[in-house]
Amino acid sequence: MLIKKEERKAFRIQVAVWMVLFILPPTTTWIVTHKGDIAWTVVKDSYPYLLTLSLLFFMNVYWLVPDILYKDNKRKFYGINLAISATMLVLMQLISYLKSGQLISRDVISFIFGTLFQFGYYWCIIAFAILMRASMQREVMQNQLKEEKQKRVEAELTMLKSQLNPHFLFNTLNNISSLVQIDADAAQESIGQLSELLRYSLYDSNQKLMPIEREIEFMNNYIDLMILRCNELADIKVDIPQLERSVNIAPMLFISLIENAFKHGVNSRTPSFVHFSLALNDDTLTFTSENSLFPKPDTDRIGSGIGIANTKQRLDRAYSDKYKYIHEQRDDTYFAQISIKCL
């Protein structure tokens, strides 16, 4: 009879309850009578009976019910319990005889009714053990379902990140490719920045939560890299300061908004703007992106790409109902804002 890991908590509680049942009769007797000899008599009279009941209970909960009854061997289950109950009745009779020199009752009728009463009491314990085991099984199954759901969510998040990283790399390499033709020295410097960005996106971001300071550093580096390809017609404003208080967030939640703001908000031939801000109020972290909007084909319009779709799914899985995501077109500008309740 082995106690499984997920059953240990229930086992400890059950042991504690039975210990209370063992301690309660003599303790109560001593409190009421203040006589140790009477309390000791209660111990001698009640403990053999309580011992048989507790053994019957634990044998059923951790052996007979899960290993025999739950494996559709009901005849064997009831047969073993019948044999155990009969054996315990005989032992109780023997203990009574050794203590008093007589059986529990010399009156045949009283003996029969007393035996049936004890037998019924044993089977009440067996029934209670069956119910207890069913409750434990239900709790174990619920915990397993929660663990499986958590593993499924983590697998989905990993899949979404694996989609996001190539998407991010593709956009960044395009930026550097454009920059090489404009300023080779700046391009070389940006390759070093890209190395840091990739280290974060491919390795550091595998963690479930990251300090906001690391995320801010990542966003500022990425924005700097994007700014290098913009000309003087682009008005870029960045208000992403280091916060006064450190919090942890899911990594790379805001990068898709930054990517899309530059992709759809900057035009090399027309005045354009991109504005970013980050603020922490109480426990709510808010990232805001606003940019000018230049019409794109339906297949490439803002808010329809892989990055935005992944952002929505990651928010759902990482923050459930603890976030707000607003994204909408306002005349010739595009506004996006993510507010999350920090964990």
Tell me the mean pLDDT in the region 129-133: 91
- pLDDT > 70: percent of the chain: 83
Question: Reduced to 3 states, what is the DSSP secondary structure of residue 263?
Answer: helix
Beta bridge partners of 315: none
Query: CA angle at residue 34 from 33 to 36, to 5 degrees?
Result: 105
Letter for the amino acid at 264?
H
Tell me the pLDDT tens digit for each residue of 163-195: 545 665 676 777 778 777 777 787 788 888 888
Q: Which distant-in-sequence residues (6+ apart) come within 8 Å of 36 by Cβ? A: 30
Among 266, 268, 253, which residue's Cα sits nearest to residue 334?
266
What's the pLDDT at 303? 47
Alpha-carbon distance of 154 to 83, in angstroms, equals 50
Alpha-carbon distance of 110 to 89, in angstroms, equals 15
Tell me the pLDDT tens digit for each residue of 181-240: 777 787 788 888 888 877 887 677 777 888 999 899 889 988 887 887 788 899 999 999
Q: Which residue has the higher pLDDT, 82 or 116?
A: 82
Alpha-carbon distance of 175 to 165, in angstroms, equals 15
Given a contact cutoff of 8 angstroms between Cβ atoms, the answer to whether 334 and 264 are in contact is yes
Q: Tell me the pTM.
A: 0.52
The tokens for 15 are: 């042991």
Alpha-carbon distance of 315 to 340, in angstroms, equals 9
Lowest mean pLDDT among 90-104, 274-288, 306-320: 90-104
Tell me the pLDDT tens digit for each residue of 302-343: 444 566 677 788 888 888 889 999 988 888 899 999 999 986
Complete domains list, the chain, with CATH: 5-145 (no CATH), 151-341 (3.30.565.10)
Query: CA angle at residue 208 from 338 to 194, to 5 degrees?
Result: 75
**Secondary structure percentages of the chain, helix, strand, coil, to 5:** 70, 15, 20
